A and B are shown apart, each in its own frame.
Chain A
Amino acid sequence: DTEVTQTPKHLVMGMTNKKSLKCEQHMGHRAMYWYKQKAKKPPELMFVYSYEKLSINESVPSRFSPECPNSSLLNLHLHALQPEDSALYLCASSQPRPGNEQFFGPGTRLTVL
């Protein structure tokens, strides 16, 4: 099973709302990632968790707050977002060794009004 699942599929929120994106994998992977993808652009790395600890934060604004409750779950908490934050948010997972391929989820399409 090479599946990464993400919920919700679509999310519309106002700039004052608080919402969360969820990601789950059952492949035994110990590295999990959040990416942001704008239309016709490649994914941009936001955060990396390795063994449930945050290892990379690519200078992401604090209105995005990641959380890794256990080795299978990854959350992204959203608060006070801006319209320019509207994008496809992708979760991925891999084994935390060099070269191990990343498997992506289907993404959450976020619209900020």
Chain B
Amino acid sequence: QKEVEQDPGPLSVPEGAIVSLNCTYSNSAFQYFMWYRQYSRKGPELLMYTYSSGNKEDGRFTAQVDKSSKYISLFIRDSQPSDSATYLCAMRDSGSARQLTFGSGTQLTVLP
């Protein structure tokens, strides 16, 4: 079993839809949770960063962390074609200061 599971998709939604992307994990030591957006043939771009449980909102993006269920989500409201990309969840524990554990990535297409 992988430490971090993420549905690879592909996921296609119409423009304006609410998108929900999710990851589950098995390591209860993970404390820091990140979402990266990666356009084709580009480097990952940090979208959201959350420590421990709770919600964080930034514009159309909301990140949720539920440590009791070992489940994190990224919601995208009013999705746009420019949101079409691969979304990677990543997480780390407080002891390992360097290494991120990535999900496999979800490929999202927002159709105009």
Contact = CB atoms under 8 A, between A and B. Distances in A.
Interface string B84-111: 0000100011111111101111010000
Contacts of A106: 42-43
B95 A56 contact: no
Given A40-B105, A42-B88, A96-B97, A101 B49 contact: yes
Contacts of A48: 98-99
Given A41-B104, A99-B94, A104 B45 contact: yes
Contacts, number: 69
Contacts of A43: 44, 88, 102
B46 A101 contact: yes
Interface stretch (B13-21, B30-38, B59-67, B72-80): B30-38
Interface of A: 2, 4, 6, 31, 33, 40-43, 45, 48, 50, 55-56, 88, 90, 96-99, 101-107, 109
Interface of B: 8, 31-32, 34, 36, 41-46, 49, 51, 88, 92-100, 102-105, 107
7 contacts: A42-B88, A42-B105, A96-B98, A98-B97, A104-B43, A106-B43, A109-B41
